[in-house]
Structure 1
Amino acid sequence: MTSAATRAPDRALAALEEIGSPGRAPAWVRVQPAAGGRVTGFGHAVHRTADPRSVLLRETAPELGGPLAELAGAVEERAVETLAELEPGRALHADVEHCAGVVVAQCGLDPSLFTPTFATSRVIGWTAHVLEQARDPRTTRPSARCVGPPAPAPLG
């Protein structure tokens, strides 16, 4: 995590490294807003409930195993509890970055490749958005409905 241009998954991993153990999570969470920062890996500009991507990654991380996945799960639990105390009535959930960095790191990818990997995985969505925008030039949010040919039947 030495790059000056770190991205959210890198920052989320750095936060886990800084926290170090689940017991330190509440104090770390309390310090961030007091210091004018944000609690890296929690809250999302669009998803006001649990981000569906983070739910999938939260399930995937323990399947891959390892101390980093265990730490991320325990820190998430304690951070959500602490955030609920700090901001009652505002549910802040782990965002996609909290576990994304963990999962990608568990796959053996160097943090310097996180951003190119995420960009590559988003190309299909960006392409779909461009095609939708070309059909209707009004500014829109891309739909999640597949308009292409149906997926081939599974083999076997």
Structure 2
Amino acid sequence: METEIHFRTATEEDLSSIVAMLADDVLGKERECYEDPLPLSYIKAFQAIVSDSNNELVVACYGNKVIGVEQITFTPYLTHQGGWRATIEGVRTLASVRGSGVGTQLINWAIQRAKERDCHVIQLTTDKKRPNALRFYERLGFKATHEGLKLKLDK
């Protein structure tokens, strides 16, 4: 893949492509619902994200084609003397571009954006069922310094 990838804020027109990428892996197939039309829950979530100045949904594009996505949430904390953190979530690339450097460019873009927002740390999680993703993030300098816990809530 050529390196002429550009990044921009996602629009509602990108939502179908984004959900398709989220659903295109073993874990995503279990928890996402990619259909036409998309369930209203995705549209509501998208609207909440774009209306919050501390959330950014970013797409990587090759020409007009969306080939990657990530969400960055900026959170103020009292710890670290009132510092800000960036949390990276939902990083996905099209299956056809995996291994070509698009994911690295997405993460590097997020790191630069976190610096621009004066964050002192970037955090992310990856499912233990994705050992390749863990190795990917470690190659980019991320360290497993904390034990992360999640509690799934029943609806």
- The two structures have a TM-score, normalised by structure 2, of 0.26
Greater relative contact order (Cα 8 A, min sep 6): structure 1 or 2? 1
Which structure has the bigger radius of gyration?
A: 1
Normalized per residue, the structure richer in helix is 1
